Chains A and B, each alone.
Chain A
Amino acid sequence: MTANRFAQKALSEWMKEDGPDSDIVFSSRVRIARNLRGFPFPILATGEHSTEVMNKLSTVAMEGKLDSIGNFETLILSDLSELERRVLVEKHLISPSLANESRVGAVVLSDNEAISIMINEEDHLRIQCLYPGFQVKEAWQLASRIDDIYEEATEYAFDEKRGFLTSCPTNVGTGIRASVMMHLPALVMTQQINRILSAITQVGLAVRGLYGEGSEALGNLFQISNQITLGQSEEEIIDNLHGVVRQIIEHEKAARQRLMQESQLRLEDRVKRSYGILSHAAIMESKESAQRLSDVRLGIDLGMIREVSPQVMNELMVMTQPGFLQQAFEEKMNTEQRDMRRAELIRIQLASRSQDGGAYE
């Protein structure tokens, strides 16, 4: 089973690399939406149309045209189990809509899982590139290169006035969605977050909590992305996002510093309590685990906890999701069993990390 390789490990290879500002920006992502000329969009496509689109697009990778970028593997969605699809969603390698709605869908994944090319999602083609840390520009450049390769091999639906035509009017024009995932515990603790987030929405960017539903952010993780795709060039869109994220980083840094100056003991108490609970608890609900993992990660970044590496937080964040838990323990579970298994998994992970004897300094 080839999908197993992608579904087994919680941490993608690319996440293990260090990126700039990775204490606050966990990852940067750019997604490009494209469609082929002459075919209805997936929402109205017949099975025949979708199969033809799939064949046209999947040959690009199979004929080795992407070799200059890296090694790729193509997974056909209908070959995967429901659980495998769920894990791929939790790792952000495919979208929920590709996993649940697409009839003739596929995903082309690079070896390190940094590139995911979805076929017959909401649009015929969606190219997604992920980078560790704050590297939106790099992600855009790579996505654009892959875009050029597909454009060379196929014919895109493009209109001089409207740009690249997409199924949803919110993507038309550049078809680009750039986003960063930010960990902002200090801005949440100092209650500045709402003020900052509402300012963000006024400059054409959107914010949403990660893994959480609606506006609630689990684990103080926020995804910030561009809203506008028409009337601005890709560079303007990326620069705009880049500038705003840079400012948020500075605000978060200042808030962390202020916390350290004004209430270091209380902060340290909170961090170490969370560390203690994660290391010993027998039942761990997902909401609590997200909050405690966020505390521990902040403690690591501030030098309060030295024996655990910062990647543990990223890794556990994915591993404690329901689909991945079931995959790891190879059984279907109800909520209570999951909370028990989650606690167990966190305990094991933290214990093995701290036995490494402070590998991380």
Chain B
Amino acid sequence: MEVRVQNVRKEFDRFPALHDVSLDIRSGELIALLGPSGSGKTTLLRLIAGLETPTAGKVFFGDTDASEKTVQERNIGFVFQHYALFRHMTILENISFGLKVRPRSSRPPAGEIRRRAMELLDLVQLSGLEKRYPNQLSGGQRQRVALARALAIEPAVLLLDEPFGALDAQVRRELRKWLREIHDRTGHTTVFVTHDQEEALELSDRLCVMSQGKIEQVGTPDSVYDHPTSPFVFGFIGESSELPVTVENNELWVGGRAIGVPAGDAQPGEARLFFRPHDVELVEHDASLAGVVSTNRRVGGTRRVELEIGGAGHLVEVDLPFDHPAGEKTRLAFRPRRWKLFPAV
């Protein structure tokens, strides 16, 4: 089901958690809400679920205004960060709950409910554990039960709030792949909150980056990574280095030296240059960024050095091949291969 969030605003005791947010979620896609802590991701998710009511604005499910529907009527699958399983019910009872509480007219017969629950248990790879209680499972298993429970009601939309937030890195990676597989198999429209950018980039069809109650950018992981539209997104997604520069004569200048980077259509004056540390080339000639290595450490297959540029002591990070002989105080000259210019604040 298609979900449209239209000019939604949410205040908690006059504190605005969301400012005028609009988002179109396409039917069948897996979209990630990504942003720092307190940026309003959970609030947006809960508004879609109907667990909060917007101060202003509307949420549409398809063509119907969801504000006329209660939480129960929205047919939402919601997965909480801390599982929120019913601890006094077995795994099987947890998964069947949504079907068992339906009114008699739409409730499947008991045998059918059981069959579907067992099928879901199989889908989340927990067959054989149906008689256990939640406290007899590991965190990763609990979260899979929570997902099966949400899927049991054939939800119109599946909402996940940092579903893997409480799990260790390895389990997270496994569950991530597995969630993608389940999504591809079941095709539910899925919105999922995370503050782990790696998770968002790897898992989602589209990415919605949020900051301070606003949506900064929406797009495919590639487009958001390659073409960030704001300094915030550039800094938040992926590694980045930032340097204050001056635009003059269609060129960029640092400390009175041209650095060999064309300014494009930027207005003359102060500006902020952003580039990725791995997207640079070392050069010999004059028109380049030159600096002195201040720190130097090995990160996996590359060497990350911090350079002090010009007299003002601005620090930028640059990646070198791991066998590069650069030591402390070595002088290096480089030029970003790709970069982005934003107006100075």
Chain A partners chain B? no
Chain A contact residues, CB within 8 Å of chain B: none
